[in-house]
Amino acid sequence: MATATPDDLDGIPLFDVLEPDERATIAPWFELQDVSADVNLTGEGASGYEFFVLRDGTAIVTVDGTDVRTLDPGDFFGELAILGDGRRTATVTTASQAQVLVLFGTEFRRLQQEYPEIAERIESALREIARAA
């Protein structure tokens, strides 16, 4: 595991509202992890304290054993547990070799407070998911 660099955040839509110096500020808050295929990043019903951004590769979201969505580079997940009751609402499994940016709860709260435009994008995505459900 390595600390993310500003370059690791480039090209990710969630962060494109940030200036380069802002990306440089938040990059060290993330861990950059290389993950093999078929690894569960989250488990439905488990406690969750991390927010993930898929930097490279794909992952499958499963609820009650049913595939509900494929995640592609730039997609993020894990925010429901942090913003909600602390429990994962889905299992997310890598479908290929992947690279993920991981932000723990404390830094996630800091991101919300210091960069409200990113918090709004995350909350907007949550509303879209809720509407689609």
132: which residues sit within 8 A by CB, 6+ positions away? Answer: none
Domain 34-132 class?
Answer: mainly beta
Per-residue pLDDT of the chain (133 residues; tens, 9 = 90+): 799 999 999 999 999 889 999 999 999 999 999 999 999 999 999 998 999 999 999 999 999 999 999 999 999 999 888 887 888 989 999 999 999 999 998 999 999 999 999 988 888 887 776 676 6
Alpha helices in 1-133 (DSSP H): 6-9, 20-26, 79-83, 105-114, 116-132
What's the helix, strand, coil split of the chain in %, to 5?
Answer: 35, 30, 30
Tell me, yes or no, if the pTM score tops 0.85.
Answer: yes
